[in-house]
Structures are given as structure tokens and as C-alpha cells.
Structure 1
Amino acid sequence: MSGKILIVDAVATNRIVLKVKLSAAHFEVHQASSGGGAMAIARDLRPDLIIVGAALTDMECGDLIAALRARPDLAIVPIVALLPEDTGEARVAALRAGADDVISQPIDERIMLARLRGLLRQHHALQDMRLNAGPDCAAGFGEAQGGLLRAGRITILGVHMSDAMALRTRLRSSCHHQITALEAGGPVTGSPGAPAADVFVMLIPEGANETGLELMAELRASPEARHSRIVCLVPIGSRALAASLLDLGASDVIIGPAELDELTLRLTRQIQRKQAVDHLRTRLHDGLRAAMIDPLTGLYNRRFAMPFLKELAMANGSQARSFAVMLADLDHFKQINDRLGHAAGDRVLCHVADLLGSSVREVDLVARIGGEEFLIVMPGANGAEARQAADRLCRRIAEAGITIRGQSQPAHVTVSIGVAMGETANEGAEDEDANGRIDALLEQADRALYRAKARGRNTVTISARPAA
């Protein structure tokens, strides 16, 4: 795995040893001997991960971590603390300062590389989400990451139920999160329809390495747990198992007896990350939805409708299936805006959109593709069904009264509809063929709409020939 790693340590030997190990693993390694130097290098380098040693001449390790975290461009970069000795007190201090993980000397190369790979994998995935989300959503992630932590859900999965229950009792005394204990191998949510945990804690006892790996693979493949964090607790001496679990997708692995303060801190950190990523995912989803939804009417827009129509046209099957494309346009809509105002015009558009959406089948698509123009796509419909549906739409809209603020009488509008019939593609058809067929289909529906307008409006015209 590639990535830029910045090593910060005043001891040259520590930097050299780490650089040799990381370079052999194909990382791009950079070095700094002081906190100030690290801040300057990080500004230009934009590292993917930073390793901070305890021996610094100009500041404490915790102060440097806090300074790095305060930089917006480095706020989500993984930081690993390199400890001269492995003690619970030192690990807790580094984690409280903002480190994502800790490694201690003497360095276990396999564990270290597995931890770094895991952190980089999560970091790169997050970067992709932020890139797709755009600057507003990226800022939203920063806000969520530094925001108030809500109570989360923790599920302890034990190979032996007694171990899971014992750990639940311990954790309940130190954290405010909702904690559930389950026997490993059953439903990960405990009961159908229940929400999945923010964090799963897997307890793997001595001699259960294969079982632990199987459970890890199953949990990562579970649809309910696809966004959950996973923390594994393994026996002391199970370093090979720990490395494998990290490479399988564990968010964190604790080797040996877990001190309560450290375990609580690690779980809370995982919940905080999960909530921040959920916040970003929600904003990303909302942004994508907004890009495909017309903000006035709530219908789909052209950006969604055109790919939908193309996919329908390219849907290969044992035999071609017909589908209908309708273009519906409000009659004399400009007069409504001129006489009653644009607010009234918006109210009419929303009312017509509601009528169209409620008058078609669930499988049909209704989209607003222009000012007062709507597209209706009916998969599987033949000509007679399309004509019947279009006539029904005309009648419903003409008969419906629209309440306009400031008007004593309901307003009435009509639509004209042009219909064209298409067929799904033959097997082996190319994308270019579909684009041409869709253009021809829309052109025929538009001509049919023009003829409906010419015939006096409030009517339906069907194209005389199929477009596919």
C-alpha cells in the first residue's frame, strides 16, 4: 500500500529504523527531528499518516499531536504515537492527546505494518468520500468530528457468553453508551429490524484463532454491520492473529488484558469516528439526492431521468419489451404567471406534479425536465395502455381545482401530452445505439406534443411510428 508517512522523532536512530522498515513496505517516508519542523513539513507535504515519537526537543508529544489536530488540513490525518515502553498509562495519555493508535518499542514489524495499513485504508476511504461530497460536506465532517458525542451502541460478541456478559458489566461502570452482549455466531443485531451497533467488540479466547478469523470475515460481510466499527480483543501472544484481523478490516485490535480506561477511551473514539463518518455519509446522500431532485416539486429532474431512460432502453431480455415516453406541458402557463404572479405559478406546478405522481404506477417515472414540462416514462406499457394513461392524466388535471392564496375561486389548468413508443434493446446493443434511440424517442414525443398543442391543447397525441 502506498502512502506518505511523516516520522517525527528527535532520536535519529528511531527515525532511521522506522524509515528502513516502512520504505521496505513501499511507503514514501519523510522525517522531522522536532515539533516545529514537523509542522512546517506537514504544511507542504500533506502526509497520509504521521508517527510521533516521545523524544522531542521543543515540545511534548501530546502538545504536538494537539497542534497537528488543530490544523484544518491535518484534522483527519491518522496520528500514531511511538512509545519508548509499553505501559497502560502511556497509551492512555497518547490516546487522550488525540493519537489514533500507539506502537511501542521494541517494534513488532508485522503488527505495526498491519496497524498502519488499517489506518491508511480508513483514511483513503474517508478522503474519497470527502472528494465526492465536495467542500461543504467536507467541512461538515470537521464539524461532526469536533462536535458533541452522542451516546452510541456497543455490541459485545463473545465466543463464550459468560465472557461477553462480564465485559459488559465492566464497561457499564465506565461509559454512558448502550451496551449489549451477544453470543458470537447469531444475528448481529440481536433481533430482526433492530439497528446495528456503532461498534462491535469481538472477544476471541485462547485457542480460538480460526473461529475469530471466521467471525471477523462474517461480520465484515454482514449488510447490517457494513458501516460499523469492529474492535477485537485477543489473548496476549496472539500477534499473528492480531495482524490478520487488522488486515481483514478490524478498526482496532487490543492484545492482552484490556485496562478499563484504555478500552473505554478506544471504544469512545471509535464511536466518535463512526458518528462523524455517518454525518458525512448523510450529507453526501442528501447532496446526491438534491442533484437528482427538482427542489420545487420534489419530482426527479432531467439529471436523473435521462440515465433512467437509457437504462430502460438498454435492458436486454429474452424478447424486446415496449415502453412509453410522454412529454406533458402545461397549457398557457405564462398567462398564470403574468395574471396571478410567480408564487401562484409555483403553486400550480407543485399541484400538477402531485397529480402526475399519484396517477401513475409505482414502476413509472415522473420528472420535471423544464419550466412547465414533465416527462413520464412507463416501462412495459403498450400503445393502448399509454393512451389510456395519458387521457387519464389530462382529465385529472383539468378537473382538479387549485387553491391559490388571495383568489376566491380555485384555479384550473390543463396539459397537453405527446406520447412516443419505444422498445428495449436487442442483446449486444451498444451504448451509442441507446443514446441515439433515446434522442429519437424524445424528439418524436416532442413532435407529438407540438401536434397536441396545435389541435387545441388539453389533448393527447401519439407518435405515428415507433422510435425503436
Structure 2
Amino acid sequence: MSGNILIVDAVATNRIVLKVKLTSAHFSVSQAANAADALRCASATPPDMIIVGTPLPDADIAGFIDQLRARRSLAATPVVALLSPGDWTGRTAALRAGADDVVSHPLDERTLMARIRSLLRQHHNLQDLRLNTSPDNISGFADAQSRFAVRGQIAIVAADRASAMALRTRLSRCSAHHLTIITADQPMTAQIGARAPDIFVIMTDQNNHDTGQKVMAELRASPDTRHSHIMAVVQDAAPQMVATLLDLGANDIMTDVADTQELALRLNNQILRKQVVDHLRCRMQDGLRDAMIDPLTGLYNRRFALPFLQQLIEAPNERSRPFAVMVADLDHFKRVNDTLGHASGDAVLRQVATLLQGNLRDADMIARIGGEEFLIVLPDTPCAVARGTADRLCQLIRDAAIALPDGGTPTRVTISIGVTLVHDARAPGPLSLDTVLSEADRALYAAKARGRNTVTYSAMSAA
């Protein structure tokens, strides 16, 4: 894994030693000896991670992290603080300020690299989500404190229930999050209920490390829990075990739970990060949905419908199966807008869309592809069934009383439908999207010419 890491340390020897370790792991490294230089360097070229060591001449570590988080471009950059052993006050202050991890000297290279890899994976995932959301997305974790700080769901997983209960009791004194206990020897998904926990705290040690790894693998593989964060709490862990758990997908790890306050802070930070990621993921999904859904009717739009039909035409397993394509157009719709107003016209379109969609199968596709024009695709549909469907839809719209937004007398509209019935085995030449649509359009024009309020079939349908 490559990335640009900024080392910030007042002691040149510390910077050199750490740079050697990082460059040997194929990271690009830049350096700064004080907070001011680090902020200038990071602002000019935002790094993928910042590692800050001994107290700086112009800021303590917590103060420096505060300055980083106050800058929009650096608000979500992972920060690792390297502190002296036993500096519990410094660890707490760094985590409160927004450090992603706190590591004590002496540094175990294997563990440090695993922590760096884990944080970079999370950071790059976050960056990918931010790139796929709208420009006004959140800047990072700095403003998440006020926007996303809500009570989270934390599940403690342990083979020894007594240990889990003891940890829950200690955490409940300094954490406002909802805490539950899950047994490690039972399926995870069977114990989580309707909503997956935000964080799973997996308690493990050298004696049952296989159980911890199995639980992590199960959580990451399940669609219900794959987005949950994982905090591994490991007693008497060897560096290899810590590195393995991080590389398997743990978001954070603690090897000493004597300081419950630090564990609570780490869990708070993970809750906030997950809420930020969940928010971005929802924004991205909403954006994808908006890109293929017509906002007025709730039907699919042309951007979705044409690729859907193209895929149906080209799918090898569909080549011998008949399907139908309909282009439906409301008759004299301009009169509706001119006489009743555009609000009533919109109400007509919405209700017609609802009626059409409600009388199709789940496998069928309907889209609004123009002002009052709809495209309907019926996969794997014999000709007789398609003809019956088209006739039924035409009659359905003709007989419907369309309610108007002002509560006045309901109006009535009719629809014309052009249909192409396709069976590739009987088609005279290779099918194409343009050919199928052109045939359906030709049939629609014929329906309009015949006086509207009717169904007409293309020449291809007679083949």
C-alpha cells in the first residue's frame, strides 16, 4: 500500500528512524520539525496520514491536532500520535482532540505498519465515498461532533460472558452508548436483532485468538454487519496477533483495557466515524437513485431504461425468449395543461404512472422517457400475454377517474400504446436497441393516426 505520510517531530533522529521504517514499506515521506511547518506543508499538499511524535516547540500534541482538525482539507486526515509509555494524560488529550490512534514507545514495527495500513484503508474508503457524493458534503470529522454525535449501538462479543459483563459495567460508567453482550460461540446475525450494532467490541487473548478471528471474518462477510466497525480488545497480545487482527479488518485495537476512559474515547471516535461514513453512503445511494429515477412520477427515467432494454436485447440467455416493448403516450395531454393548469397536469402524470406501474409484474420495467411518454418492457413474455397486457393498460387508463389537486371534478384521459413483440429466433436480422425502439415508435404513431386511445403493433410483431 502506497501513500504520502507526513512525520512531525522536533527530534531529527526520531524523524530519520521513522522515515527509514516507512520508506522500506514503500511509503512516500515528508517531514516537519514544528507545528507551523507541518501545517504549511500539509495545507500545500494534503498527506494521506500525519504521524506526530514528541511535544513540538510551538504546540503540544493535542493543540496541534486541534489546529489540523480546524482546517477543512485536513479535517479527515488520519493522525497517529506517538507518546511516551505511561503518558495516560497525553493519550487521553490526543484522542479527545481527534487523534485516530495513539501508540506508545518503543515502537514495534510490525504493529505500527498494521495500524497504518488499517487507518489508510479506512481513509481511502472515506475519500472514495466523498468523491461520489455532491460537492456540499461534509468536510470531515471536525464538524461531525455536532452533526452526528448521537447515541450509538455497541455489542461486546466474548467467549467468557463474565468478562463481557464486567467490561460493560465499566464502560457504562463513562459511555452514553447502548451496550449489549453477544456470545462468541453463537451466529452473530442471529443475535443482533433488527439493527446491526455500530461497533462490535471483540474480546480475545492468546488462548482464544482463533475465535476472535472467526468472529471478525463472519462479521465482515455478512451483509448485515459488513459496515459495522470492529474494535478488538486483546489481553497479553503478541505483535503478530495485533497485526493479524488489524489486517483482517479491525478498525481499532487495544491491548490494555485497564484505562476504561481511553477505550470509551476510542469507541466514541469510531461511532462518529461510522456515522460520517453512513451519512456519505446514504448520500451516494440517494445520488445514484436520483440519477435513474424520474422525480415527478417515481418511475425510472431514460438513463436507466435504455441500458435496461439494451441488456435485455444482448443477454445470451434471453436470445430465445420472447419479450415486449411498449411506448405509451397520453392523448391530447397539452389540453390538460392548457385547460386545467400544470399542477393538474403533474397530478395526471403521477396517477397514470401509479396505475401503469401497479398493473405490471415485478420483473417488468416502466420508465418515463418524455413529457407524457412512457416506456414499458416486459421480459420473457409470450406474444399473447403481451397483447393482453397492452389492451388491459389502455382500458385501465380510459376507465380511471383522475383526481385533481384542487378537489374539483375528476378528469379522464386516454393513452395510445405502440407495441413491439420480439422473438429473436424469428427476427429477420440482428436486433438492436434502435430497431426495437423505432418499431415501437412506429406502432405508436399508427395508434395516434387511428384515432388514439388504442393499441397498435409493429411490423416486427407480425413476423
User: How far off its partner does 1:87 sit?
Assistant: 3.3
**Is the CA contact (8 Å cut-off) linking 2:205 and 2:236 kept in structure 1?**
no
User: How far off its partner does 1:88 sit?
Assistant: 2.8
Where has structure 1 moved over 3 Å in runs of 4 or more? 137-146, 189-193, 405-408, 423-426
Of 307-316 and 141-150, the range deviating more from structure 2: 141-150
Return the alpha-carbon distance in structure 1 between the equivalents of residues 462 and 214 of structure 2: 54
In structure 2, do the counterparts of structure 1 residues 117 and 423 end up closer, same or farther at CA, with 3 Å as the change threshold? farther
**Is the CA contact (8 Å cut-off) linking 1:236 and 1:257 kept in structure 2?**
no
Query: What residue number does 1:417 align with?
Result: 417
CA offset digits 1:416-450 (Å, max 9, x no partner): 00001234799xxxxxx99x612211111011101
**Is the CA contact (8 Å cut-off) linking 1:164 and 1:183 kept in structure 2?**
no
Give the residue type in structure 1 aligned to 2:51.
I
In structure 2, do the counterparts of structure 1 residues 76 and 299 end up closer, same or farther at CA, with 3 Å as the change threshold? same
Query: What residue number does 1:273 align with?
Result: 273
Return the alpha-carbon distance in structure 1 between the equivalents of residues 186 and 222 of structure 2: 12
Task: Normalising by structure 1, report the TM-score.
Answer: 0.93
Query: What residue number does 2:102 align with?
Result: 102
Give the residue type in structure 2 aligned to 1:133.
T
Return the alpha-carbon distance in structure 2 between the equivalents of residues 218 and 162 of structure 1: 23
CA offset digits 1:118-157 (Å, max 9, x no partner): 0000001111111111313355987546424111111111
Return the alpha-carbon distance in structure 2 between the equivalents of residues 306 and 368 of structure 1: 11
**Is the CA contact (8 Å cut-off) linking 1:233 and 1:254 kept in structure 2?**
yes
Query: What residue number does 1:465 align with?
Result: 460
Return the alpha-carbon distance in structure 2 between the equivalents of residues 142 and 337 of structure 1: 50
The reply to whether residue 122 of structure 1 matches residue 122 of structure 2 is yes
Aligned-partner SS, 2:85: coil
**Is the CA contact (8 Å cut-off) linking 1:313 and 1:423 kept in structure 2?**
no
**Is the CA contact (8 Å cut-off) linking 2:232 and 2:253 kept in structure 1?**
yes
The reply to whether residue 78 of structure 1 matches residue 114 of structure 2 is no
Give the residue type in structure 1 aligned to 2:134.
G
In structure 2, do the counterparts of structure 1 residues 43 and 408 end up closer, same or farther at CA, with 3 Å as the change threshold? closer
**Is the CA contact (8 Å cut-off) linking 2:75 and 2:139 kept in structure 1?**
no
Aligned residues: 461
**Is the CA contact (8 Å cut-off) linking 1:441 and 1:467 kept in structure 2?**
no
In structure 2, do the counterparts of structure 1 residues 150 and 299 end up closer, same or farther at CA, with 3 Å as the change threshold? same
CA offset digits 1:323-360 (Å, max 9, x no partner): 11100001111121122221121111111111111111
The reply to whether residue 197 of structure 1 matches residue 197 of structure 2 is yes
User: How far off its partner does 1:296 sit?
Assistant: 0.6
Task: Normalising by structure 2, report the TM-score.
Answer: 0.94
The reply to whether residue 437 of structure 1 matches residue 432 of structure 2 is yes
**Is the CA contact (8 Å cut-off) linking 1:233 and 1:256 kept in structure 2?**
yes
Q: Identity of paired residues, percent?
A: 55
**Is the CA contact (8 Å cut-off) linking 1:83 and 1:104 kept in structure 2?**
yes
Query: What residue number does 1:429 align with?
Result: none
Q: Which runs of 5+ in 1 are unaligned?
A: 427-432
Aligned-partner SS, 1:288: helix
User: How far off its partner does 1:394 sit?
Assistant: 0.8
Give the residue type in structure 1 aligned to 2:22.
L
**Is the CA contact (8 Å cut-off) linking 2:404 and 2:410 kept in structure 1?**
yes
Query: What residue number does 1:16 align with?
Result: 16
Aligned-partner SS, 2:432: helix
**Is the CA contact (8 Å cut-off) linking 1:238 and 1:255 kept in structure 2?**
no
Give the residue type in structure 2 aligned to 1:418.
G
**Is the CA contact (8 Å cut-off) linking 2:182 and 2:191 kept in structure 1?**
no
Return the alpha-carbon distance in structure 2 between the equivalents of residues 439 and 162 of structure 1: 68
The reply to whether residue 135 of structure 1 matches residue 135 of structure 2 is yes
Query: What residue number does 1:235 align with?
Result: 235
Query: What residue number does 2:307 align with?
Result: 307
Return the alpha-carbon distance in structure 1 between the equivalents of residues 11 and 192 of structure 2: 55
In structure 2, do the counterparts of structure 1 residues 270 and 140 end up closer, same or farther at CA, with 3 Å as the change threshold? closer
The reply to whether residue 37 of structure 1 matches residue 32 of structure 2 is no
Return the alpha-carbon distance in structure 1 between the equivalents of residues 276 and 22 of structure 2: 30
In structure 2, do the counterparts of structure 1 residues 245 and 234 end up closer, same or farther at CA, with 3 Å as the change threshold? same
User: How far off its partner does 1:68 sit?
Assistant: 0.4
**Is the CA contact (8 Å cut-off) linking 2:206 and 2:237 kept in structure 1?**
no
User: How far off its partner does 1:86 sit?
Assistant: 4.2
**Is the CA contact (8 Å cut-off) linking 2:188 and 2:218 kept in structure 1?**
no
Query: What residue number does 2:338 align with?
Result: 338
User: How far off its partner does 1:283 sit?
Assistant: 1.4
Aligned-partner SS, 2:156: strand
User: How far off its partner does 1:104 sit?
Assistant: 2.0
Q: CA RMSD in A?
A: 2.2
Aligned-partner SS, 2:77: coil
Of 281-290 and 118-127, the range deviating more from structure 2: 281-290
Return the alpha-carbon distance in structure 2 between the equivalents of residues 194 and 316 of structure 1: 39
Give the residue type in structure 1 aligned to 2:248.
L
CA offset digits 1:95-124 (Å, max 9, x no partner): 112101012222111111000000000001
